[in-house]
Amino acid sequence: MKLSEIYNLAVQMGTTYDIRGNYLEKILEQNQKAYQALTADEKDYFDQECLFNPYNDTRILVGSGEEEIKSILCGIDMETPEILLADRLCQRGIKVDLVLAHHPEGIADAQLHEVMQMQADMLEKMGVPINIGEGLMAARINEVRRGRMPFNHQRAVDAARLLNFPFMCVHTAADNLAAHFMQRLMDKSNISTLDDILNLLFTIPEYAEARKLKAGPAIILGDMKRRAGKVFVKFSGGTATADKAYEKLAQAGVGTMICMHLTEKHRQAARENNINVIVAGHMASDSLGMNLFLDELEKRGTDVIPCSGLIRVKRFSGSEVH
C-alpha cells in the first residue's frame, strides 16, 4: 500500500464508525467555507487536510504519501526512542517502511483539542441536550488547548525526518473503532452488574492480556454487585470530558461509565453524581482500536511489528468492525 492509501483508509474507517454520522459532512463544509474566506496569505497557514479529514489528530507527519509501505513499526506512543528503535531494526535487517503511532505527534498533537468537539455529540447520544453538551465542552476544549501549548510537539517528527522514516499517527479515527466495538458489545449483552461488565471485558483478548500485565480493567467507583444501569463507553473524543458533564450524564440516566483512564478530579465528579466507573485500561483500549485498523492493513498485504504498549490481536472475520 502507498502511505496515502493507509492514511485515507484510516479516515474512511474513522468516519464510518463516527457517532456524528452525516453531521461530519456539515463539519467539512464549514471547514471549506472557512478556508475560502481566508486571504491568500492566511491560506498558507491553514491545515488543508481538514477539508476532507475531520480528525485533526490523525495525520501523515513525515512523507509525501507516495511511499510504498510493506512493513510497519506500530505502537501506542511512538516518540524519538521508537524512531531510533526503527533505525536499529533496519540495521539488523528487519525492514521498517513506516513508523505508525496511535497517540498524536507534531501538528496532530498541537491541535488535539479540535477533535474534542465531538464529545458534545457523545453526550447527546446519552441523553444530554446538544446545547448543554456544547456549552460544557467549550471551556474544557480551551483548557486542553492552553495546557498543550508548551509541549515540544515536533520532537519525534524531527527525529523521523532526520532518519528518513515516513511517520503517521491515527488517534481519534482508531478510537472511534474501539468505542463502536465496545458500546455495541455493551448494548447487546445481557449485563446487570459491574461484575458482569468486568467478566465481559475479560473475554476480550486485549483486556485479558492487560490483566496479566497488571494493567487490566478495574472498578474505580462502585462495587461488583452494584447494578450498571445505562452504560456509557467514553473511549473517543481526544481526551477526558468536562468534569461538569457527570452531573448532566446522571440526570440523563447514565449509571456506569467505561473509560480508558480517569483523573482524580473526574473521579470525584463521578462519585458526587453516583455514577459507577470502570477504567478499562489505557493501552489495552488503545490497542483494541488500533488492532481493528491494523487488521485491514494486514489483509491488504502489509506486515505489522508491534511495540510501545500495543497488544496486537488479529481479527480476520471481515471488513466490518465486529
Q: pLDDT digit string (tens) for 82-92?
A: 999 999 999 99
Q: In the chain, where are the structural domains located? A: 3-175+285-307, 178-282
Q: Return the amino acid letter for 207.
A: Y
pLDDT tens for the chain, 322 residues: list them.
Answer: 999 999 999 999 999 999 999 999 999 999 999 999 999 999 999 999 999 999 999 999 999 999 999 999 999 999 999 999 999 999 999 999 999 999 999 999 999 999 999 999 999 999 999 999 999 999 999 999 999 999 999 999 999 999 999 999 999 999 999 999 999 999 999 999 999 999 999 999 999 999 999 999 999 999 999 999 999 999 999 999 999 999 999 999 999 999 999 999 999 999 999 999 999 999 999 999 999 999 999 999 999 999 999 999 999 865 445 4
Q: Judging by DSSP bridges, how do beta strands 230-234 and 59-62 pair with one another?
A: unpaired
Distance separating alpha carbons of residues 208 and 201, to the nearest angstrom: 8
pLDDT confidence of residue 256: 98
- Please tell us whether the domain made up of 178-282 is placed in CATH 3.40.1390.30: yes
pLDDT confidence of residue 322: 45
Order the strands of the 218-221 sheet from edge to edge. Answer: 218-221, 276-279, 254-259, 230-234
Q: Judging by DSSP bridges, how do beta strands 218-221 and 276-279 pair with one another?
A: antiparallel
Query: Minimal CA–CA distance to 63: which of 106, 19, 14?
Result: 106
Chain centroid to CA 234: 10
Chain centroid to CA 301: 24
pLDDT confidence of residue 319: 44
Cβ contact 169:103 at 8 Å = yes
Q: Return the amino acid letter for 97.
A: D
Assign 243 to helix, strand or coil: coil
- pTM metric for this prediction: 0.95
**Quick one: which H or E segment has residue 59?**
strand 59-62
- Range 293-314 burial, b when 16+ CB lie within 10 A, else e: bbbbbeeeebebbbbbbbbbbe
Question: Rounded to a whole number, what is the distance in angstroms from the first to the last CA of the chain?
Answer: 24
**DSSP-assigned states of every residue in 3-19:** HHHHHHHHHHHHHHT-T
**Quick one: which H or E segment has residue 230?**
strand 230-234
Query: Minimal CA–CA distance to 56: which of 17, 14, 23?
Result: 14
